[in-house]
Amino acid sequence: MCLSASVVPGEVNTTNNNKQADNLVTLLYNGHDIAVITVGPSKTVVGQGYSMSITAIVKDCGVFSETFNTTVFANTTAIYVLTVGLQSGTSATLSFTRNTTGVAKGNYTISAYATPVPDETDTGNNQLSNGSVYVGIPADIDGDGDVDPIDLGTMGAAWDSFRGDANFNPNADINDDNNVGSLDLGIMGTHWGEILP
């Protein structure tokens, strides 16, 4: 990839206006600019009353150090607010654990919003929606409204796996302990045959 900067009036040294880039290059905005780079849940299905993780990455894309609030939403409900301080060009990974006790069953869109900093003009990248989560019956791994042999088969395919293993399925890790095992099977047994009304 070749990057070029045009010559500006009065510029004497133009030897650094062209650059061959072998790696990822970060171009910083010459001002105040923060952005949400990514946001998403660790699962697409979670049993009501159980937990899941949500991760967001925010970045300071400007040339000034910034302190700002990042809010994570499930639909339009704010579920976390965190104050973040970043140096120019740096990013931070924010991780949250969402317990769904008392959360109504249904579909939720996960999003994050970085509150604009003073003098920020490019706010189009301050909000990002990415990923949805279905909150349902615990052990309804496929989110189809019942706990049945399909869910058991899905758990079997991920049996005895840990987060990072090729066959790990976060939806089958019902208790969110990073392992699909006997504790998850016990939860499935408790809810076996349940159907949403």
For residue 1, pLDDT over 90 is answered with: no
For 78-104, the pLDDT digits (tens) are 999 999 999 999 999 999 999 999 999
For 63-75, the pLDDT digits (tens) are 999 999 999 999 9
For 17-38, the pLDDT digits (tens) are 555 555 555 567 779 999 999 9
Q: Which domains does the chain have, with CATH numbers?
A: 27-136 (2.60.40.10), 139-197 (1.10.1330.10)
Edge-to-edge strands, sheet with 45-47: 45-47, 127-136, 106-114, 66-74, 77-86
Beta strand 91-99 with 77-86 is unpaired
Tokens coding 34: 């923060």
* pLDDT value at residue 2: 40
* pLDDT value at residue 25: 57
Quick one: which H or E segment has residue 157? helix 149-157
For 106-142, the pLDDT digits (tens) are 999 999 999 999 999 999 999 999 989 999 999 999 9
Q: What is the dihedral of CA 184, 143, 129, 60, to 10 degrees?
A: 10
Q: Are 142 and 154 in contact (CB under 8 A)?
A: yes
Instruction: Return mean pLDDT, the chain.
Output: 91
